Amino acid sequence: MDIEKLKNEIDQLKKEREAIILAHNYQRPEVQDVADHLGDSLDLSRIAARTDAKVVVFCGVQFMAETAAMLSPQKTVLLPVREAGCPLADMATAEQLRRKREEYPDAVVVAYVNTSAAVKAESDICCTSANAVDVVRSIEGDRPVLFVPDRNLGHYAAQQTHREVILWDGWCPTHLSLSPVDVERCRKLYPEAAVMAHPECSPEVLKRVDKVAGTSGMLRYPGGSTTQEFVVATESGMVYRLQKEYPEKRFYPATEHFICPTMKMTTLEKIRIALRDMKHVVRVPEEIQDKARRVLEAMLTVTASPRRAK
């Protein structure tokens, strides 16, 4: 089917189903183009909770759709590709976390949003790349923090807050593939550009860049900067997003290989089928949902007004 026909059919099905399409900043350009809203997982989950639409098509990966489903339990959340997982999220299971907690009974468990609902349910508070530092800072007293599962984001939050953070040995294969040599190569190739990197990159990369930020921070940064060119050290979908947002500036991927295979599984055809057949409905078991929602809500309180939590 040609692309215009596909887009028209998606539009028609969207009306029939009273649906909206939410797409993560890492999605393919053509998927971003049909989305009603773009954002990071936190922005999109908030939009899912606020919308009057009955159906939310979440173009992202499993943990994101689960988060949206937990924050809007009365809506139907569809994930167009059931297998779109996150290798980082798969690096921590609820059972492993229960065992780790036994090793560190005093620790406050901070779960990065890139975790399953079951892992969130075993945690104390959630965070995203945008608010990890505020969340760690909000923890009262000097109890250690057990940060799961991304060791690079946990390391970055520890550096920024000077808190004791116990790191889980998890990583994003896509972000970890960027090396300091790649950053140096970009410096030579684009001498006028500011380099922005996601905190899931290694500490060796982060100390060589001009700005460390999640995708929502990367979207704000060029707006407040007189710099005209930017190297983007995160998933390639973000380059498309930034270029649309700031057509007068120039954005370059830090490497041509900055591609998350599971983020790219969602296509227009899969969205059409998701809306046509109402699949795949994302459901989180009740007993997990209640606990995991409390952990997400604890994060939202900190994000609403960064402060020291009780």
Give the interface with ligand CIZ as residue ranges (CB under 6 A).
24-25, 40-42, 113-114, 128-129, 198, 214-215
CB of 197 to ligand CIZ, least distance (A): 11
DSSP 8-state symbol, 221: G
Is the bond into 306 cis (omega within 30 degrees of 0)?
no
CB contact at 8 A, 197 and 182: no
CB contact at 8 A, 151 and 167: yes
> How is the beta sheet containing 19-24 ordered, strand by strand?
37-39, 19-24, 55-59, 76-78
CA atoms in the 13 A half-sphere facing the CB of 119: 27
CB of 305 to ligand CIZ, least distance (A): 20
Distance CA 198, CA 218 (A): 8
Nearer to ligand CIZ, 232 or 275 (CB): 232
Nearer to ligand CIZ, 13 or 219 (CB): 219
- Say which amino acid occupies 81: V
Nearer to ligand CIZ, 158 or 263 (CB): 263
CB of 211 to ligand CIZ, least distance (A): 13
Nearer to ligand CIZ, 284 or 299 (CB): 299
CB of 128 to ligand CIZ, least distance (A): 4
CB of 149 to ligand CIZ, least distance (A): 12
CB of 273 to ligand CIZ, least distance (A): 24
Nearer to ligand CIZ, 160 or 273 (CB): 160
* CA distances from residue 226 to 95, 176, 187, 234 in whole angstroms, order as listed: 49, 29, 18, 21
Nearer to ligand CIZ, 25 or 289 (CB): 25
Q: In degrees to the nearest 10, what's the CA dihedral of 197, 203, 204, 210? A: 40
